[in-house]
Structure 1
């Protein structure tokens, strides 16, 4: 038996929904304001995972332009109907969070293959968020959703509601039934999933918020509509294994609940899977904050092996409820290979983008991205402060010590044209190593621009001349520090661009968000939207 190392999906991979079909395992994760929307990973051994699909890539109904962050696509639920042999994907599109209204629209869609094509999304409801679909033995289908509470004097965030879904009519039928307001006193209940085992319906939820008090909670009932009883040892997985009371507390971060003895932080939002070997695992989100509580990598996906007790409850294989940095692998299943750090090397030699590339708000299309003989051409559009038409593509930062390099050719003719390498959290927080135009000296120059809480700063008052208007740009991260550097060609030595920059503010805690740090390439043009940047290649290297 081999140990599986956590996180199994490092970097921005929150809200996992795990599924097995035969000997194939799949995990779907949230993408929020990033397109194409919903990431699906595949594995044979539960340890090594490959990104294989974006189910919303060809769904024109999904438009994330203008979405407030961290809105967008939330908590996808991946399920499989053994009777019809169809995959189902159920998800929320969060449109607004102002006024604590949480205006969400919930959908489901199906496909004969995990790779698609997927059916047109079917609208379910707007009662709340985090819907999931359960296929009962009798062929009936049920949706459980967090009903978001907006009334004063009522317990927040609300109840888990059960509704029946009729796929022939393509809609929910009957009235919603409130089946629980929480299995613990942690509050902030969400992310419901239904399972059936040995005659019981099991309801798995996330409680305690998305921050340091997060947890996986289990309840059960002989009747799908309840009443549900809580596991006497809830929560079954967490980073804070002690009792605390936070019902009706809207704070999701809860940094005061940080547990210095926990190998993983923020463990919660679980999803259950049984293996072909008859074993059980829960995939859950987690985080690895740096000192000072800065989770720059965002929320990641981890795995814990579980066992059923004689009285029908789930426990972690080691008997505790504290999420671990490793978990036992499947009995008799050797890992295909050792788990390795993620690396993206892209020379843009294909006619389509690598699946690891994501774009914020707007979709990638030929209006601003075209493939050339020697790379990728990107047309500059709105600045990175925009939530509309942004020319930026990025991939998740997956390690604390990462080097990212790109080759760029760009000849601006106006000071409002820029192109280069970007570390990006959201439209208000990023760092941009760029080529731009020095009007006084009529030349291309290099510098670093910072966005912090929506404020823009040029970090280096001295602009570096780039005579050829071409350069290789690099950023190297070392925990909470990032050093930008450059060289004009492959024969030149790397030279620093300014001093190391503190990137701890590009974290969930500092921004009060729950996405993660991304790295990529981008361009803007506030002159005439006519300038183009040519990127020859892009490469990430993660050291451990």
Structure 2
């Protein structure tokens, strides 16, 4: 047995799809508007995980330009047919509308970290698709979306057989199950003459759960279990909340485990907020005498510490990847990093960013960021930049999305005492550190202080649960820039719009006029504890 501590993949790793291939377990997670697309982690014992690559090319044209916040690639499903990996996923181009505007794709690879085939579009009934391989046949599961006025946006689970070679539909589409409570994220497993349909129930927030249905025939009818297999919705005191979106997998010794998403909320005066996003957890599963799965530890609540039926095995040396110096754990928005704006060769040991669109752009924001994985964290970086206009800026960011971020930037301002008259081309002005806080209601200037840029500046931020404090080094001492900011606003749960990702820390550069201004960064460090 191996003792694991949940979450096993921490910080923005939602919708885990777990598969076992030989002695290895692999998990694919949602990437939304971020690159690398569909990160994959691997483990031998379910407790210790490492990044194993991603589904390169998952975004058509290698671009998600224009997709809204929390759009892009939702809930990939990873599977293995005995010879190759398969992944199916939806690219969601509308969020918060009845339509979703979804394209569903399938790609395959012989190695999870290897070359994936060019994605092929398949039937796109709704988001959160999955594939089921059985007796040489291939089946596509999906949510059915009804966009019509008065329609149910979550109108049941459907099943379509696909030709294994062409991926064209074979026969018609079958309605497997409808339920008064929202169900999505279907997965199928076969055990003891039953087909088990594992469902995400209740939405992906604090009402989330895992529900199971079963049938003797793959096309149904399916009988729904009387109670959820897993949920935390009835106990807000549990350390693991939002437990849901599960997948059942059998170990080599014929035991069973469940992967699922979860979240670790901060308790704030405005209610619980999950700044780390939704994360990946694993539970041990047993089967009752009636043939239904249940949590091995009893009840339906997620456990933090779990004895899983594996042998503790240390990971081999870190899996090599060919992603270069800006590969994992770096992530970028809506496109992979490109030397045209993220240059690591011109100045060895430094990253040179060329400024492009502003931070609220959905098209060409020059930003590199890494996941924050714990409620206490610290990030710092040294930056060398000489802006000559207020349209140029570069610095350190805490990022959730285009409507939720905090940035400490080296930029330009008018001479002290002069108003914002936009006359930067006159030559007069000063270099400043500008601390800006953005939330759904607008942008606020939190601090503005003069700096001298003959030497590089070291900028930093310290996060202590719901509080973020920015600083810069002066004379070797940390000098605060502005007061404490409410970091909990960078969470899934703040604001009125749907949010599905997690807080990041990183660097960025902006040049709204010429896209020619550059800034050099070195020594980026993100520590989480």
Question: What TM-score comes out, normalization by structure 1 length?
Answer: 0.89
The reply on whether 1:532 has 2:529 as its aligned counterpart is no
Q: Which residue of 2 aligns with 1:167?
A: 164
| Alpha-carbon distance, 1:363 to partner | 2.6
Task: Please name the residue that 2:333 is paired with.
Answer: 360
Kindly indicate whether the alpha-carbon contact (under 8 Å) linking 2:137 and 2:164 is maintained by their aligned counterparts in 1: no
Q: Quote the residue 1:289 is aligned against.
A: 265
Encode CA deviations 1:275-306: one digit per residue, 9 max, x unaligned.
Answer: 12322111111111111211111111111110
2:420 matched to which residue of 1? none
Q: Compared with structure 1, are the counterparts of its residues 290 and 166 closer, same or farther at alpha carbon in structure 2 (3 Å cutoff)?
A: same
- For residue 128 of structure 2, the aligned residue among 118, 125, 130 is 130
Number of corresponding residues: 503
Deviation, structure 1 residue 173: 2.4
CA distance in 2, matches of 1:224, 1:505: 44
Who is 2:433 aligned against?
Answer: 446
Aligned partner (choices 209, 221, 231) of residue 238 of structure 1: 231
1:287, 1:298 within 8 Å by CA — same for their partners in 2?
Answer: yes
Gaps of 5+ in 2: 316-322, 416-427
Match of 2:421 in 1: none
Name the stretch that deviates more: 5-14 or 366-375: 366-375
Alpha-carbon spacing, 1:58–1:505, altered in 2? closer, same or farther (3 Å): closer
1:221 maps to which of 215, 226, 240: 215
Deviations 1:29-87 (A, max 9, x none): 001111121110011111111112121347653421110121100000000001xx010
Structure 2 counterparts to residues 111-510 of structure 1, below 5 A: 111-136=109-134, 138-182=135-179, 185=180, 187-232=181-226, 234-241=227-234, 259-291=235-267, 292-331=271-310, 333-334=311-312, 336=314, 351-371=324-344, 372-440=347-415, 442-453=429-440, 455-460=442-447, 462-488=448-474, 492-510=476-494
Spell out, residue by residue over 1:250-270, the C-alpha distance to the aligned partner (whole angstroms, 9 max, x if none).
xxxxxxxxx323231110000
Q: Which residue of 2 aligns with 1:25?
A: 25
Gap runs ≥5 in structure 1: 242-258, 338-349
Per-residue deviation, 1:373: 1.3
Deviations 1:206-261 (A, max 9, x none): 011111111111111110000111123x20000025xxxxxxxxxxxxxxxxx323
Of the structure 1 ranges 195-204 and 95-104, higher mean CA displacement relative to structure 2 is found in 95-104
Partner residue, 2:425: none
Is the Cα–Cα contact under 8 Å of residues 410 and 469 in structure 1 kept in the other structure? no
Measure how far apart 1:469 and its partner are: 4.9
- State the match for 2:8 in structure 1: 8
Alpha-carbon distance in 2 for matches of 1:155, 1:96 = 17
Partner of 1:72: 72
Counterparts in 2 of 1:97 and 1:374: CA distance versus 1, 3 Å:
closer
TM-score by length of 2: 0.92
Cα deviations by residue, 1:67-119 (Å, 9 ceiling, x for unpaired): 0121100000000001xx01001000001135321111101111111112111
Kept after mapping to 1: 8 A contact 2:25/2:42? yes
- What CA distance in whole angstroms lies between the structure 2 residues aligned with 1:421 and 1:470? 13
Report if the CA contact (8 A) 2:98-2:153 is conserved: no
Residues 37 and 58 of structure 2 are in contact (CA less than 8 Å); yes or no, is this contact kept in structure 1? no
Aligned partners of 1:147, 1:475: CA distance in 2, in Å? 44
Contact in 2 for aligned 1:123/1:171 (Cα 8 Å): no
> How many Å apart are 1:439 and its aligned residue?
4.0
Structure 2: distance between partners of 1:450 and 1:497: 13
Deviations 1:383-402 (A, max 9, x none): 00110011001111111000
CA contact (8 A) 2:58 2:119 kept: no
Q: Is the 8 A contact 1:427 1:454 kept in 2?
A: no
State the Cα distance separating 1:151 from its structure 2 match: 3.0
Name the CA shift for 1:263/1:536 in 2 (closer, same or farther; >3 Å): closer
Tell which deviates more after alignment, 465-474 or 280-289: 465-474
Q: Deviation of residue 527 (structure 1)?
A: 2.8
The answer to whether 1:102 aligns with 2:100 is yes
In the alignment, what sits opposite 1:252? none
Query: Could you tell me how far apart the structure 2 residues matched to 1:64 and 1:506 are?
Result: 22
Tell me which residue corresponds to 1:92: 90
Tell me the equivalent position of 1:515. 501
Cα RMSD after superposing both structures: 1.7
How far, CA to CA, are the matches of 1:396 and 1:453 in structure 2? 21
How much has 1:274 moved relative to structure 2? 1.3
Distance (whole Å) between structure 2 residues aligned to residue 528 and residue 202 of structure 1: 57
SS of residue matched to 1:459: strand
The change in CA–CA distance for 1:283 and 1:58 in structure 2 (over 3 A counts) is: closer
Structure 2 CA distance for aligned equivalents of residues 240 and 502 of structure 1: 26
After TM superposition, give the deviation of residue 129 of structure 1 in Å.
1.0
